[in-house]
Amino acid sequence: MSKPEPGDAAQGAPGEVKLSKASVNRFSLYLRRLERFLSDGVQKVSSSQLGEALGFTDAQVRKDLAYLGSLGQPGIGYNVSELIAALRRGLGTDREWLAVVVGVGNLARALLRYKGFGRQGFRFVALFDADREKIGRTIEGLKIHSMEDMAKVVAETGAELAVLAVPIEAAQSAAEHIAAAGLRGMLNFAPTVLKGLPENFRIVNVDLAVQLEQLAFYVHLTDTKERT
């Protein structure tokens, strides 16, 4: 039923990963919702309760969670804390991930100051820019390196992930540099589709317009309500 089409897996190695982008989105939603259940003092949850809270079918929830191994007990449900731990293990966020930022403009500065990343186990360890003027400077305690030094710095720091925050016209070439430097995946903030990168290099595209679209939708719904 949820056999994904190649194009819906994360950009990179379509055939390899058998989870669609939608499945990964659902895992994130499960995790967020379970964290809220826990903070509300809820200790046990059934697949139908979790599904109902998120708008998924019971069957979908059970199928997704089965991917994490056998966790729930029939008629009793899931232990919330255990399920959170299993999701974190499954998602790979039970450990620290080191990341670099490529392109040190306004977005990079904003991201470096963003409190949410550290909380979820992500730590920035180095910055890169093509602009000779910026190289050697320090921002938020991190040194800006040249693009040419990326492979060396990545090897030294053990960074695995990159955040691409360059202007749209510099995105393709910077992305190729990142993939060649030994980084394993990249969060792409440039609103463009990147091409020809290695199969095992992962890309997640961030489309900030989608969020604004959702806000417009909620406001629009109010209009529709008022008219009826």
Element (H, E) at 80: helix 80-91
Q: Which of 46, 79, 93, 146 binds its own copies (CB under 8 A)?
A: 93
Q: Residue 3, interface with its own copies (CB under 8 A)?
A: yes
Regarding 62 and contact with its own copies (CB under 8 A), the answer is: no
- Which pair of tokens denotes residue 45? 């949850």
Q: Which range, of 9-17, 74-82, 128-136, 173-181, touches its own copies by CB under 8 A?
A: 9-17
Pick between residue 131 and residue 148 the one whose CB is nearest to its own copies: 131
Nearest distance, CB of residue 6 and its own copies, angstroms: 10
Rg of the chain taking only CA atoms, in angstroms: 20
* Helical (H) or strand (E) element with 144: strand 142-146
Min separation Cβ 146 and its own copies, Å: 22
Question: At closest approach, how far in Å is the CB of 2 from its own copies?
Answer: 4
Q: Is 15 in the site for its own copies (CB under 8 A)?
A: no
In the complex, minimum distance from the CB of residue 68 to its own copies, in angstroms, rounded to a whole number: 12
What whole-number distance in Å separates Cα of residue 217 and Cα of residue 140? 37
| Cβ(72)–Cβ(65) below 8 Å | yes
Residue 44, burial from CB neighbour count under 10 angstroms (0-12, 13-18, 19+): middle
Residue (of 48, 160, 51, 35) closest to 100 by Cα position:
160
- Smallest distance from the beta carbon of 145 to its own copies, in angstroms? 20
> Is 186 one of the binding residues for its own copies (CB under 8 A)?
yes
Interaction of residue 76 with its own copies, rule CB under 8 A: no
Per CB under 8 A, does 170 bind its own copies?
Answer: no
Among 79, 85, 97, 134, interactor with its own copies by CB under 8 A? 97
Residue 190 CA to residue 193 CA, distance in Å, equals 8
Q: Which stretch binds its own copies (CB under 8 A): 76-84, 141-149, 151-159, 200-208?
A: 200-208
The stretches of 98-207 forming alpha helices (DSSP H) are: 106-113, 116-119, 150-157, 171-180
- The residues facing 185 across adjacent strands are 161, 202
Q: Which stretch binds its own copies (CB under 8 A): 73-81, 129-137, 146-154, 207-215?
A: 207-215
